């Protein structure tokens, strides 16, 4: 058997669509493992950012961490794609034949043609052979692509990264975009960071005749327990902060509004609960 210019075309049998699907399946099976190192490093970076860990670093160390992260991304991309090759038509044919479990490689055999002339008996045998191949072509199946990540990640690190990402997104909440911004834009201002200053006024209802209660101090230093009547008004002001501060009265949430750059204020009623706290970026500033 030999391939000649007079080889039979299989286009009229319409396997082209299945060949394209087989090529796409091969492409995915090679692309996903190549993306795994890059996705792993990127996932770790997102986890660190969502937990707001970069803000705990000095500015110069934050910059160094960003440089290392970019280098790690580049190295992971090179590691993943150094052996990546686009599949060719021959590979797509082989995959289609192998996944279908059909014998005698019908796609390849259809491109063959007997060398030289054929006797009537040989021509009859050849036509019978082609009829059998046509039947085999009808049984071709593409099959589902397989990522094969278990071979590249036997420890199952992808599951741990995905779980931490979900926890990070839940912990960041609405603060997630701001945390991502802070992670990629380090602060290079000199000197130690000054903690935000928090002032709280609690005004009892008018019928009590009670004087307003004034609480002040640096965030992170909670005040003593205070007794206030139900229906009191709480006014809180936070200075030197960034993000979206929150005031929690029991389970009731009130968001601060920014009145000046870095200065936030909120007012709420104390109707339920026995706990008052101010939170920023998922962390409790005072309570």
Name the residue ranges covered by the structural domains of the chain. Answer: 1-190, 197-286
Q: What is the pLDDT of residue 283?
A: 78
pLDDT at 11: 44
For residue 174, what pLDDT is reported? 81
State residue 220's pLDDT score.
47
For tokens 């960041």, what's the residue?
172
Give me the pLDDT at residue 25, please. 76
**Overall pTM surpassing 0.75 (yes/no):** no
Q: Which residue has the tokens 């050849």?
A: 126
Q: What is the mean pLDDT of the chain?
A: 76
Nearest alpha carbon to residue 150 among 141, 163, 142, 159: 159
Predicted pLDDT of residue 44: 93
How confident is the model at residue 272, as a pLDDT?
A: 81
Q: What is the pLDDT of residue 6?
A: 38
What is the structure's pLDDT at 10? 44
Q: What is the pLDDT of residues 229-247, one digit of tens each?
A: 888 899 988 888 777 888 8
Of 3.10.350, 1.10.287, 2.40.50, 2.60.40, which CATH number belongs to 197-286? 2.60.40
Chunked mean pLDDT (size 10), the chain, 287 residues? 40 57 77 83 92 86 92 89 78 67 54 61 62 60 62 76 90 86 78 71 88 68 72 88 84 87 88 83 78
pLDDT reported for residue 125 = 64
Q: What burial letters (b/e) apply to 151-180, b meaning 16+ CB within 10 Å?
A: ebbeeeebeebeebeeebeebbeebbeebb
């Amino acid at each position: 058997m030999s391939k000649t210019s007079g080889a039979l075309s299989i286009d009229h049998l319409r396997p082209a669509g299945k060949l394209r699907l087989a090529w796409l399946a091969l492409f995915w099976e090679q692309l996903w493992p190549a993306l795994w190192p890059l996705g792993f490093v990127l996932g770790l970076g997102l986890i660190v950012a969502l937990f707001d860990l970069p803000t705990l670093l000095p500015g110069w160390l934050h910059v160094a961490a960003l440089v290392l992260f970019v280098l790690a991304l580049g190295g992971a991309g090179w590691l993943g794609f150094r052996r990546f090759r686009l599949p060719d038509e021959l590979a797509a044919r082989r995959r289609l034949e192998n996944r279908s479990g059909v014998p005698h490689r019908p796609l390849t055999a259809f491109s063959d043609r007997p060398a030289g002339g054929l006797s009537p008996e040989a021509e009859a045998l050849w036509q019978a052979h082609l009829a059998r191949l046509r039947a085999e072509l009808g049984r071709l199946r593409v099959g589902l692509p397989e990522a094969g990540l278990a071979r590249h990640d036997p420890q199952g690190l992808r599951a741990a990264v995905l779980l931490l990402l979900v926890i990070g997104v839940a912990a960041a909440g609405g603060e997630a975009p701001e945390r991502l911004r802070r992670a990629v834009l380090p602060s290079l201002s000199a000197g130690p960071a000054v903690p935000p200053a928090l002032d709280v006024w609690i005004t009892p209802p008018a019928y009590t005749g009670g004087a307003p209660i004034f609480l002040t101090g640096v965030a992170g230093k909670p005040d003593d327990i205070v007794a206030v009547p139900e229906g009191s008004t709480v006014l809180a002001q936070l200075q030197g902060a960034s993000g979206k501060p929150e005031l929690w009265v029991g389970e009731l949430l009130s968001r601060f509004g920014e009145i000046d750059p870095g200065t936030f204020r909120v007012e709420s009623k104390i109707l339920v609960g026995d706990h008052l706290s101010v939170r920023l970026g998922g962390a409790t500033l005072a309570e």
